[in-house]
Amino acid sequence: MAQTQDTRAETGPVDFEDMLTELAERRTEFREQSYVSSDFIDRLKGLGIYRASTPAMFGGDPLPPAEFLEQVERISAVDGSTGWGASFGSALVYLAALPLETQAELYADGPDVCFAGGLFPVQRAEPTDRGFLVNGRWKFASGCMGADILGVGIPGDDSTAGKPRTALLRPDQVEIIRDWDVSGMRATGSFDLSVDHVEVPREWTFIRGGAPTVDEPLYRYPALAYAAQVLSVVSAGVARAALDHAITVGAGRSGVTGAPKLADRAYYRTGIAEAEAALRSARAYFYEVAHETYESVLSGDPASERQNAHLRLSASNLARVSAKVVGQVVEISGTGVIYNTHPLQWLMDDALVPQQHAFLGPAMFDAAGAVLMNQPATVPGFA
């Protein structure tokens, strides 16, 4: 297997804080261009974000899920879009299902690999002697502008039990179509990917959530649940930013009409307190089950169906509660919020996005409830 060289500079709390400071200065730049610049992706690589799910056997520094989630949350409190992109530092858990020889080649230049995927709609791929002839267009490839490797969804077959495959391609094999025109999470660069009849070897395809070929603890943690968690925690960071803004502004000057400042109004104090309690409660449940499940994995026990259900439920709950928290802050914040330049406008738009994701939508509550009552999950890909 290929030997990897650790080129990452020594990092620590100061480096992370410096990155957040730079992010605060550049988030408008990223929003205006609709993607996070490649040099900032490199900045995140230097902090280990994109080796946090690279196998240790290939030079990675795999983090316990809760530790990685906390990093994504802190980034998202400064800019949700950048937090969304950073969250895909966890996506290499999917690639652990590739043959070991393929992974060795993937990490031959180092463990800091940024992966982005446009997995839907699944596009037909003609089988070849070596693999698959990939052709088509895929949507929602968040972070594709700074990616080192890209994935697109193709059908499965008898060998995958019908589950779709993801085919991996290098950036020079893919055309990025910049059609991302949205209000929320604008800087995620969730553009379309277009591939024109490129043959992808079979060993460069995998089943998302498929059995890993790497025997390390992180790859025994439920992969699809982790994918839901990293997106959900972005909304928690956005909600935290909204609350912090509201607390700071509320203690400030009186309104333009001469009315008492917001902090002197009972409805404002009550609203902030309710939102604070709701967010902290949802976070506590979210991190509790993340810690509990990883401890089970570390002890050698596979994650149970109930643990997976709690991971999925707590993630969907956090996304829903976070959006409600931002909405409540907006509701009590007065007329100034109607201006496009108001910080809460940006945060409100970003907060709505995670709960719309298929991994976090209303169906997840039904599926989790079914499993908790010893019934089969009601949605595919729940575990």
CATH code (residue 120): 2.40.110.10
Whether 216 is covered by a domain: the verdict is no
Whether 349 is covered by a domain: the verdict is yes
Whether 285 is covered by a domain: the verdict is yes
Rounded Cα–Cα distance for residues 353 and 231 (Å): 10
Whether 91 is covered by a domain: the verdict is yes
pLDDT value of position 381: 87
Whether 1 is covered by a domain: the verdict is no
> Are residue 232 and residue 365 in the same domain, yes or no?
yes
> Are residue 363 and residue 226 in the same domain, yes or no?
yes
> Are residue 124 and residue 89 in the same domain, yes or no?
no
pLDDT value of position 260: 84
pLDDT value of position 331: 95
pLDDT value of position 5: 42
DSSP 140: E
Rounded Cα–Cα distance for residues 173 and 168 (Å): 10
pLDDT value of position 366: 98
Instruction: Please report, for the domain that includes residue 68, its CATH number.
Output: 1.10.540.10
Whether 382 is covered by a domain: the verdict is no
pTM (predicted TM-score): 0.94
> Are residue 227 and residue 143 in the same domain, yes or no?
no
Burial class (CB in 10 A: 0-12, 13-18, 19+), 229: buried
Rounded Cα–Cα distance for residues 323 and 360 (Å): 12
> Are residue 261 and residue 159 in the same domain, yes or no?
no
Mean pLDDT for each consecutive 10-residue tract of the chain (383 residues)?
Answer: 41 85 98 97 98 98 98 98 98 96 98 96 96 97 98 91 92 97 96 98 92 96 96 98 95 66 94 98 98 97 97 98 98 91 94 95 97 96 88
Whether 259 is covered by a domain: the verdict is yes
> Are residue 265 and residue 357 in the same domain, yes or no?
yes
Using the 3D structure, point to which of 78, 106, 134 is the last residue of a domain: 106
Whether 354 is covered by a domain: the verdict is yes
**SS3 at position 191:** strand
> Are residue 130 and residue 100 in the same domain, yes or no?
no
Using the 3D structure, point to which of 165, 181, 207 is the last residue of a domain: 207
Instruction: Please report, for the domain that includes residue 327, its CATH number.
Output: 1.20.140.10
Using the 3D structure, point to which of 88, 106, 124 is the last residue of a domain: 106
Q: What residue numbers bound the domain in which 47 lies?
A: 13-106
Domains of the chain: total: 3
